[in-house]
Structure 1
Amino acid sequence: MLVLATVGFLVNFWAWALISPLGSAYRDRLDLTGFQQSVLVAVPVIVGSLGRIPVGALTDRIGARVMFPVVSLLTVLPVLFIGLVAESFASLIVGGFFLGLGGTTFAIGVPLVNAWYPPARRGTALGLFGIGMGGTAISAFTTVRLTDNLGAEAPFLIVAGVLVLYAAVAAALLRDAPNRTLPQGSFLARTWATAKLPATGQLSFLYAVGFGGFVAFSVYLPTYLGNAFDLTPEDAAFRTAGFVVLAVAMRPVGGALSDRIGAIPVLVVSFLGITVLAALAALELPLMPIGTIAFLGLAALLGASSGATFAVVGRLAPPEKVGAVTGLVGAAGGLGGFVPPLVMGAVYDRLGDYSLGLALLAVVSLGAALFTRGPVARSARGDARDEPHRT
């Protein structure tokens, strides 16, 4: 079930990230401003983020066995629309809006995996599930090359076929855990009750910084590298893919370390490291070697912090609300990835460089480290004291 969930997450994230590597091509073809280009690559992010709230709640109610194949098939429609129909900025925005559906599968996989694993192994299991983020790396590695070699429609047709194949396999083989707890009450009542949980707000902020930072870089790094360092689209996409691969590889490491030494130390160290490296990147030193070291370090720490955050979700969320909590926290993470590209685009249009945007990341990460060390650590200690009284 972990493998099926991870593959489903990966192929849907592959679809979710199809627009980003082509951002420069769309800019040149449609004569877009820096801000318009940022909006184009960010729209799937915000829809995929906010959509996690109802999708997570629906997964709690009807199960991942139904949700994974249904969402995968629905994602085929915007993939084909963008690849075969969309020709203008407005039509690409419409297609990107519905393409965001692919990003909601995160809120399907987490409750599925969480229900299959005992608490002591959930950090590692959810970290491994996070490898599905690598779908963005596949997109970064292949989209531009497929477009150049096989035509503009090729990446979209291939992804659509993979989604259909996965939906068929998932419908045949995927199973929900037999002991999963079904929620009670209406969607709105359950969502409001979930939003009021202290853990929901705390973890939403941490995930907005950690996973949001990953999403922001994965969708905007090709644009940043092209504008700041004059890299070709293919070179920028290749380097972005390396960033994504490292972040994806570190997510299970963050989860496993959380099982071994606790999530709080992992989060504090990660956010402090992000603070230092973002400040270094803000200096916009030459890409080789200092800039590359800074961005690869950011990739590793953003991935580790994302894995550690969901290790805490698996521990603090009530079993019947894991999907709902995941939806809200995942939405916050995606929204954290939606805002930075817009900020970076606006900063670049106004100032001609990105230093201010990267400096803001350093400030926010420092705040996240202090917040983790304070309120989040106190909540985790309180949960540990309550653990013997749980059934």
Structure 2
Amino acid sequence: MTNAPATTPGRSPALMLTLATLGFAVNFWAWALLSPLGPRFKELLGLSAGQQALLVAVPVIVGSLGRIPVGALTDRFGGRVMFPLVSAATIVPVLFIGLFGQMSMAALLIGGFFLGVGGTVFAVGVPFVNAWFPPNRRGLAVGIFGAGMGGTAISALTTVPLVRAGGAAVPFLITAVVLAAYAVVAWLVLRDAPGRTAVTQPLAARLAAALRLPITWQACVLYAVAFGGYVAFSVYLPAYLQTGYGLEQADAANRMAGFVLLAVLARPVGGWLSDRVGPVPVLTGVFVVTAGTAGVQALTPGLMPV
């Protein structure tokens, strides 16, 4: 790896990082729209707890698996193309759910499937941000970019109040407008780091080479448990708080937002620590603390103060 590339005229790593983080937040906002409304759909459509869990899980699963082809496309075309493309593509399921897809479980599942496209933006932003920063600053840079997952907090805080104030379609229409605005800005302002070379090797060959590396499987397991666990807990948290603690829908959504906010603040800290002490000690500490707190929560202790 080389050090940070020279900046292009009118473009700086800080500006690119800011816009990438904003794109991450906007797309994750869209990606998480169904989660706060899970209890509402349960009441309207008579869903079981399993159906409600499936409804919020579908965008997460698609967004996770979709990162493989989207990451490959980012290698080929660069973040400057993929950020606005993913954002524009996410508008379609957002509008479908908002205008047509809330009348049946089947329609919600179809809309949620394609809503998963918004979750693939992570695979666009990481290589885009990495290319703008030297290796000794990439932990902090990716950590700051990762704070864009706070878009799920925006969804948690605004979706239910907007539905109550203006109707079921309002949060989806607003999100679609924001996605469209970001896609335009990203297309006009974003630039790939100077010196970026488009990959021409076939996807199958690159995927096979990656799968032969032990670190690929090790990182996949760690990422699945850490970030996968975070996503699963955050998207299902409103339903869990209502079922386990009897909270009102808006209160549960607000508490989910608080959980996401803490995770957002932790990401730059984790990246900064990784730059200084290395990722292995940071991951060790993270998993020890998470295992302990998960064990406590498994007993469904009193909501306050535990």
Please indicate, yes or no, whether the TM-score normalized by the shorter chain is above 0.5. Answer: yes
Distance, in Å, in 1 between the alignment partners of 2:136 and 2:200 is 27
Mapping for residues 266-285 of structure 1, pairs under 5 Å? 266-285=282-301
Whether 2:38 is the aligned partner of 1:3: answer: no
CA offset at residue 20 of structure 1? 0.3
For residue 189 of structure 1, give the secondary structure of its aligned residue in structure 2.
Answer: helix
1:251-270: CA deviation from partner (whole Å, max 9, x where unpaired): 11000001111111111011
* Counterpart mapping for 1:60-79 below 5 A: 60-79=75-94
Q: In structure 2, do the counterparts of structure 1 residues 238 and 38 end up closer, same or farther at CA, with 3 Å as the change threshold? A: same
1:200 maps to a residue whose letter is: T
What residue is the counterpart of 1:124 in the other structure?
140
Counterpart Cα distance in 2 of 1:197 and 1:137: 35
Query: Quick one: which amino acid aligns to residue 19 of structure 1?
Result: L
Which runs of 5 or more residues in structure 1 are unaligned?
291-391
Partner of 1:288, secondary structure, is coil
Correspondence for 2:160: 144
Alignment partner, residue 128 of structure 2: 112
Deviations 1:227-281 (A, max 9, x none): 0000011000000000000001101100000111111111101101111111111
1:255 aligns with 2:271: yes
- Pair 1:188 & 2:223 matched: no
Q: CA deviation at 1:184?
A: 3.8
Tell me the TM-score normalised to structure 2 length.
0.94
- Which of 248, 252, 258 is equivalent to 1:236? 252
More helix by share: 1
**Cα offset, 1:182, TM superposition:** 3.1
- The number of aligned residues is 290
**Partner-residue secondary structure (3-state), 1:132:** helix
Find out whether 1:157 has 2:173 as its counterpart: yes
Q: Tell me, which stretches of 5 or more residues in structure 2 are unaligned?
A: 1-15
Residue of structure 1 aligned with 2:66, choices 42, 51, 61:
51
Equivalent-residue separation in structure 2 for 1:122 and 1:257 (angstroms):
11
Query: Sequence identity of aligned pairs in percent?
Result: 62
Amino acid at match of 2:110: V
1:143 is matched by which residue type in structure 2?
Answer: T
Distance 1:279 1:27 in 2: 28
| TM-score, length basis structure 1 | 0.73
CA distance in 1, matches of 2:70, 2:187: 17
- C-alpha separation between the residues in 1 aligned to 2:111 and 2:208? 30
SS in 1 for 2:37: helix
1:30 matches 2:32: no
Separation (CA, whole Å) in 2 of partners of 1:142 and 1:192: 43
Q: Give 1:346's aligned residue.
A: none
SS across alignment from 1:20: coil
Give the Cα separation in 2 of the matches to 1:165 and 1:183. 29
Question: Structure 1, residues 293-343: CA drift from partner, whole Å, max 9, x if none?
Answer: xxxxxxxxxxxxxxxxxxxxxxxxxxxxxxxxxxxxxxxxxxxxxxxxxxx
2:231 equivalent in structure 1: 215
CA distance in 1, matches of 2:299, 2:213: 40
Counterpart code for 1:84: L
- Aligned-pair CA distance for 1:133: 0.4
* Equivalent residue number for residue 202 of structure 1: 218
Alignment check: 8 A CA contact 1:64 1:109 kept: yes
- 2:111 is the alignment partner of 1:95: yes
Compute the RMSD of aligned alpha carbons. 0.8
Q: Distance in 2 between matches of 1:39 and 1:94?
A: 12
- Mean alpha-carbon deviation: is it higher for 255-264 or for 89-98? 255-264
Contact 1:115 1:179 in 2 (8 A): no
Residue identity matched to 2:195: N
- Aligned partners of 2:123, 2:292: CA distance in 1, in Å? 31
Task: Work out the CA distance in 2 between the residues paired with 1:70 and 1:44.
Answer: 18
Q: Secondary structure at the match of 1:128?
A: helix
Q: Show CA shifts across 1:5-61 (max 9, x none).
A: 101111000000000000000000000111000000000001111110000011011
How much has 1:84 moved relative to structure 2? 0.4
> Once structures 1 and 2 are overlaid, which stretch shifts more, 259-268 or 178-187?
178-187
